[in-house]
Amino acid sequence: MRELTCIVCPMGCRIKAYEEKGQIRVEDHGCRRGELYARDELTAPKRVVTSVVTVQGCSELLPVKTAAPVPKEAIFRVMEEVRRVVAKKPVRAGDVLVENIAGTGVALIATKHIQ
């Protein structure tokens, strides 16, 4: 059995996950999203990565995030690519900066407008 803290919402439910004969059974989750989180944690944990990138000709930094959670083991590869990104003005929140960041199949998007 593994005890997990669900990070999907602020309730932070302490979820119990049992692995029996290749089957995963989940207990004490507050909702369905928690059950999915626990299953993912045991099989393929994922996280959203957030950071900042520079903007050409602008001293302001642009906050960014992966549009969806990426596999946990890809986090540092994603960060390496994020560091090389230079955005161009104007940027709107939601604009795609990199279509497929570090081969994860997930886009890197802006999270703020910069005029």
Partner 1 sequence: MKEQAIDIAVIGGGPAGLAAAIAAAKAGVERIVIFDRQAELGGILNQCIHNGFGLRYFKEELTGPEYAARFIAQLAEYPQIEVKLETMVVELTADKQLITTSRRDGWNLYQAKAVILAMGCRERPRGAINIPGTRPAGVYTAGTMQRLMNIEGFRPGNRAVILGSGDIGLIMARRLTLEGIQVAAVLELLPYSCGLNRNVVQCLEDFDIPLYLSHTVVEICGEGRVTGVKAAPVGSDRRPILERSFMIDCDTLVLSVGLIPENELSREAGVQMEPSTGGPRIDTGCRTSVPGIFACGNVAHVHDLVDDVSEESRIAGIAAAAYVLGEESIANGQKRVKVVPGRNIRSVTPQEIVAGEPSALYIRVAFPERDVVVTAGSHRSKHRIVTPGETVRIVLRPEDIDFNAGVLPVAVEGGEVNA
**Cα-based torsion angle of the residue sequence 84, 97, 67, 82 in order, rounded to the nearest 10 degrees:** 0
Residue 39 contacts partner 1 per CB under 8 A: no
Residue 29 contacts ligand SF4 per CB under 6 A: yes
Closest distance of CB 37 from partner 1, Å: 11
Q: In whole angstroms, give the CA distance from residue 47 to residue 74.
A: 9
Contact 80, 69 (CB under 8 A): no
Question: For 23, phi and psi rounded to 5 degrees?
Answer: -105, 145
- Using the minimum distance from each CB to ligand SF4, give the nearer residue, 9 or 86: 9
Closest distance of CB 23 from partner 1, Å: 24
Q: Binding residue for partner 1 (CB under 8 A) from 31, 44, 79, 86?
A: 79
Q: Binding residue for partner 1 (CB under 8 A) from 36, 40, 71, 111?
A: 111
Q: In whole angstroms, give the CA distance from residue 41 to residue 14.
A: 13
Strands 96-98 and 58-66: unpaired
Positions touching partner 1 (CB under 8 A) are 4-10, 12, 14, 47-52, 54, 60-61, 63, 65, 72, 75-76, 79, 93, 111-113
